[in-house]
Amino acid sequence: MPSSVPSPAAWSRGFRRPSWLSDPRVLRTEVLAGLVVALALIPEAISFSVIAGVDPAIGLFASFTMAVVTAVVGGRPAMISAATGAVALVIAPVNREHGFGYLIATVILAGVFQIVLGAAGVARLMRFVPRSVMVGFVNALAILVFMAQVPELTGVPWPVYPLLAAGLAMMVFFPRVTRVIPAPLVSIAVLTVVTVAAGIAVPTVGDKGRLPSSLPVPGLPDVPFTLDTLTTIAPYALAMALVGLMESLMTARLVDDITDTRSSKTRESVGQGVANIVTGFLGGMGGCAVIGQTMINVRVSGARTRLSTFLAGAFLLTLCVVFGPVVSRIPMAALVAVMIMVCCATFDWHSVAPKTLRRMPAGEIAVMVITVVCVVATHNLAVGVVVGSITAMAVFARRVARLAEVTAVTDPDGGTVIYRVTGALFFASSNDLAGRFDYAGDPERVIIDLSAAHIWDASSVAALDAVEAKYAQRGKTVEITGLNERSARIHGTLSGELAGKG
């Protein structure tokens, strides 16, 4: 009887060896990328903790657990998940009105919602996000990241500005010397050494908040496990789940485009949920994909595997707990320089070039601009994507509605008129369909030829019913011909059933 245990050869065939295990260059890139991302995560995680109204350690722990867990269970390699401003804005009212225990319970429930939504296939909705919205999303992201750096450059000592210029110069010119070490890491190290050695008094990471000195401890949220608690946190949890999934899936799609690879959006949705559940039980504030650090990892540092994501979380915790005093002395100017470079690399400059704008349809430009404006005005990427997508649908509907045409040909004997309808018939194009016919002047027999048209919805069937009714009032007959299979099915099912009955 053959053994049911796979042979070593079968195991080797089923196991895909990670590229960083066989290529030292890939390993070096992933390790250094993870280190750069970890350094860039620290001040932002602290800032988002302030927004949520919690201790800085809560945001740092969330960034650690989100990165580590999604590195294992997420669907998009090299994408960075951590504490984010969008999630902080959603859960801040929970902490303010009900307390920290309810915040943790909200994070855990949001993770459950994300798993359910992911399993239900919500990720497939991303296919309906048009390119113009995606471009607007990317450009708005770059603007938001830049705006977040402005407070670090106002009301600060004058040495901040030459340090910033030096950091930018190093990141522009150092790659021309070598790409073995990421330029952002070199810039951060050099500027830190210079400020410490010269005793230059500038804002540092330590000024943003106290770094944790111990590991997170798992535990249950300190809330009563009752229906009242569930009804209190459920709306916030659902909002957090939707915002987190929106940003994560959009970021995953962006990384897909940059790396020319595909990723499982369903797995990413479920992975985000698992990560938030783990984060909640470890006392973190939850999070989602963080786009600025993802761009550092993928576009600036060149990382491509899960190792960089895992190490970003591992390095983050190590830097805070073990090397906290050293990390605290990193000048904020160094990290601001890194984020400004991220802005420049992220912004789609081609989309705003005069040559591109002259060729793009006005509707596409309007959708891109509306997406950018909504995101920048609300500081919420999800709001911009939703509004931009709705605008794009309206522009598309208006454009397609104009494609529906009606032409009439009368037989030589004058006893029959044939109306040929071309284009897509749906709620927008069928609204004025009834006005295209000459009810009083047409002969006794009317043929409506739909062989070059397609019926998409009930509005179109209702419009055709209205045309038939108007002719019937004048004692004339209408014959509808040329329906394709799907159009015939929807017309046969709904015709005569849509008019109200007295």
What is the per-residue DSSP string for 196-219? HHHT----BGGGG-PPP-S-----
Cα distance between residue 472 and residue 458, in whole Å = 21
Q: Where are the beta strands (DSSP E) in 56-168?
A: 81-82
Max alpha carbon distance in the chain (Å)?
101
| CA proximity to 42, closest of 323, 344, 388 | 323
Query: Is the confidence at residue 500, as pLDDT, over 70?
Result: no
Listed range (257-266, 397-406, 464-473) with the worst mean pLDDT: 397-406
- Give the up-direction half-sphere exposure of residue 432: CA atoms within 13 A in the CB hemisphere: 10
Query: Is the confidence at residue 68, as pLDDT, over 70?
Result: yes
**Percent of the chain clearing pLDDT 90 (strictly above):** 51
Cα distance between residue 195 and residue 213, in whole Å = 24
The per-residue pLDDT for 499 is 62
Query: Is the confidence at residue 502, as pLDDT, over 80?
Result: no
CB-based contact 409:420 (threshold 8 Å):
yes
Residue range 191-201, pLDDT digits in tens: 999 999 999 99
| CA proximity to 71, closest of 39, 108, 34 | 34
The whole-number average pLDDT for the span 327-355 is 88
The per-residue pLDDT for 141 is 79
CB-based contact 393:427 (threshold 8 Å):
no
Q: Parallel, antiparallel, or unpaired for β 405-410 and 416-425? A: antiparallel
Cα distance between residue 342 and residue 466, in whole Å = 58
The whole-number average pLDDT for the span 437-455 is 91
Cα separation of the two ends of the chain: 76
> CB-based contacts of 226: which residues, under 8 Å, 6+ apart?
none
> CB-based contacts of 91: which residues, under 8 Å, 6+ apart?
52, 103, 106, 107, 236, 240, 285, 286
Beta bridge partners of 480: 448
The per-residue pLDDT for 241 is 93
What is the per-residue DSSP string for 248-274? HHHHHHHHHHHHT----HHHHHHHHHH
The per-residue pLDDT for 129 is 83
The per-residue pLDDT for 2 is 45
The per-residue pLDDT for 495 is 87
The per-residue pLDDT for 501 is 43
CB-based contact 83:284 (threshold 8 Å):
yes
Residue range 158-204, pLDDT digits in tens: 999 999 999 999 999 998 888 788 888 899 999 999 999 999 999 99
Cα distance between residue 339 and residue 39, in whole Å = 11
Q: Kind and range of the H or E element at 332?
A: helix 332-346
Sheet holding 477-481, edge to edge: 405-410, 416-425, 445-455, 477-481
The per-residue pLDDT for 284 is 93
> CB-based contacts of 119: which residues, under 8 Å, 6+ apart?
266, 270
The per-residue pLDDT for 11 is 39
Query: Is the confidence at residue 459, as pLDDT, over 70?
Result: yes
Cα distance between residue 34 and residue 15, in whole Å = 24
The whole-number average pLDDT for the span 68-79 is 95
> CB-based contacts of 3: which residues, under 8 Å, 6+ apart?
none
**Percent of the chain clearing pLDDT 70 (strictly above):** 95
Beta bridge partners of 83: none
- Specify the 3-state DSSP secondary structure of 112: helix
Cα distance between residue 212 and residue 465, in whole Å = 70
Cα distance between residue 330 and residue 206, in whole Å = 8
Residue range 299-319, pLDDT digits in tens: 888 999 999 999 999 999 999
Q: Taking the alpha carbons of 146, 307, 119, 254 in that order, is the dihedral positive or negative?
A: positive
CB-based contact 384:371 (threshold 8 Å):
yes
Average pLDDT, the chain: 88
Cα distance between residue 391 and residue 379, in whole Å = 19
pLDDT band at 490 (very low <50, low <70, confident <90, very high): very high
Q: Taking the alpha carbons of 32, 35, 39, 44 in that order, is the dihedral positive or negative?
A: positive
pLDDT band at 483 (very low <50, low <70, confident <90, very high): very high
CB atoms closer than 10 angstroms to residue 77: 21
CA distances from 127 to 119, 146, 265, 442 (A): 17, 29, 11, 45
Whose structure tokens read 């959708």? 367
Backbone torsions φ then ψ of 407, nearest 5 degrees = -125, 145
CA distances from 303 to 36, 275, 346, 470 (A): 11, 21, 16, 66
Residue range 100-159, pLDDT digits in tens: 999 999 999 999 999 999 999 888 877 778 889 888 988 987 888 888 888 889 999 999
The per-residue pLDDT for 292 is 85
The whole-number average pLDDT for the span 276-298 is 93
| CA proximity to 289, closest of 309, 260, 318 | 309
- Specify the 3-state DSSP secondary structure of 106: helix
The whole-number average pLDDT for the span 395-422 is 83
